Chain A
Amino acid sequence: MKDQQSYFEKADFQSNLPKQFLVMFVAVLLVLLEVGLAQWPFFYGASPLLSLIFMYFIMIYHDELMPIMTVFIMGLIADFLMSDILGGRATALMLLSYAMRVGVLRLQQSDFMDLWVGFAVSCTAVMLFQLIVFTVVHFAVPSLSPLLFQLGFTLILFPIGFVMMFSIQRLLQTLQVMR
């Protein structure tokens, strides 16, 4: 009887797996773009955290599409490619994703300014975590100016990224209604 019930419960919902895979693909692509952007002399040593903007948006409005595994893979690829401490960014992003899941309802009801402030806090927390791990592991503090530049530029890019993703979301919803 129990098996039958769970069978029907599963049948009620459409699988999110293809969408989750698509979100993972875009997230990984953004990580690669981050690494690629560093070749631009302007972003040398401090490319903006585009993947974090994407993760923040998805976690607020479509958290079911970004399972923890996606966050883990995203962080791990960034760690591999940027030759950072393996697992450093992955852990920071996963802790952030956990914290966001706890407060997601409040974030969903917030206006844009609150979201921006929330993102600033999240971005700072991720960088601070990586900085602390780096300092503990290497017994040395890296130069802070590129770190601040990276943080500042990511915060400047947040509204642009947010508007772009919001527009894409609207477009997809319209297409879904039309179909």
Chain B
Amino acid sequence: MRPSDKAKVRHRRLVHVVLIALSFSLMFIGKADLVAMRDLRMSSNDFLAPVIDFVSAPIRGVETMAEGIRTVASLRAENVRLQAENDLLQRWRRRAEILESENQQLRSVTGTVSDEIRSLITARAVTAPGGSFAHTILIAIGNESGIAAGDPVITSNGLVGIVYEVGRAYARVLMISDINARIPVMLASSSWPGLTIGRNDEYLELAFLPAEARPEVGELVLTSGHGGILPAGLAVGRVDRVDGDDIRVLPAVEFRNLGYVSVLIGGTEGVDRSDLSQGSFFTPLPIDDDKRLLEGLNASGTRQ
């Protein structure tokens, strides 16, 4: 081996060691959640998102084509189904209008302050979760449009997640299925409060329910509005399986086919959203197996 080759090998080894050390230390620096790292993440997202958009255009094209073929094949059956669904929805609409009117009258009688009205901005989902370690998506909307960290992201079916990083033209959304997502919820029919916890999977875990709660399969799970970040009443999912303390929820939104989402803006005045980093969230832990920390009101208004 010539001396210059030896120097090359030494140099290469040194670069190897330095880069591995740098990469290893990045894991800890990244976890420390420094403002500079967050800015770096969002700048890189702003830079790379249009490229991903361009690269994934053929993939979206193929998917659209396949969807088109599937739709054509089942056009007649789909038409019949939609007509039936339309009739049902018309009936529900009339019922909703009556209930809304009744609700307004009751509010005026009781003097209840209504929730702040939030406005909607629709954005395209640029990416989908590609790995098992994080369930986040990039959406093509940024602080130019007035969105901020903490804004809820929804579709017509229910809650998708919350915005947690905002760049100039793109924002990253933490989905409710992510392992870091903890959503304060309540069971629709019994009003028992709890938390849904993501598992980086297609299902959510429903935890911290009071011991008296008896969730039933198929029961709707809604956001409770606790904490003030998320408005109350957004559909999170339905109870899919109850096996003792292990309660599984199927999200209301079909995440696999997420094309467009809406960001709810405003309505959180007075809520401190300055630090929504993952590190600042906490999960209440039960002291004992037989004790529960969360308390709430049941459907009849009794404190439990």
Contact = CB atoms under 8 A, between A and B. Distances in A.
Q: Which of A77, A133, A142 counts the most B-chain CB atoms under 10 A from its CB?
A: A142
B127 A81 contact: yes
Nearest to A82: B131
Interface residues of B, number: 49
Given A45-B135, A68-B12, A75 B179 contact: no
Given A35-B130, A39-B127, A86 B199 contact: no
Interface string A115-146: 00000000000000011011001101011111
B256 interface: yes
B56 A142 contact: no
B121 interface: no
A134 B4 CA distance: 41
A134 B133 contact: yes
Contact of A86 (B2, B15, B26, B48): B26
Contacts, number: 157
Nearest to B173: A83
A9 B63 contact: no
A90 B23 contact: yes
A138 B27 CA distance: 12
A147 interface: yes
A46 to B, nearest CB: 6
A80 B132 contact: no
Nearest to A95: B20
Q: Chain A interface mostly helix, strand, loop or mixed?
A: helix
A142 B19 contact: no
B134 interface: yes
Contacts of A38: 127-130
A150 B45 contact: no
B196 interface: no
23 contacts: A5-B4, A6-B4, A32-B51, A32-B56, A37-B130, A39-B60, A39-B63, A41-B257, A44-B128, A45-B129, A45-B200, A67-B15, A68-B16, A69-B15, A82-B133, A84-B134, A86-B27, A86-B29, A86-B41, A87-B27, A90-B26, A137-B27, A150-B132
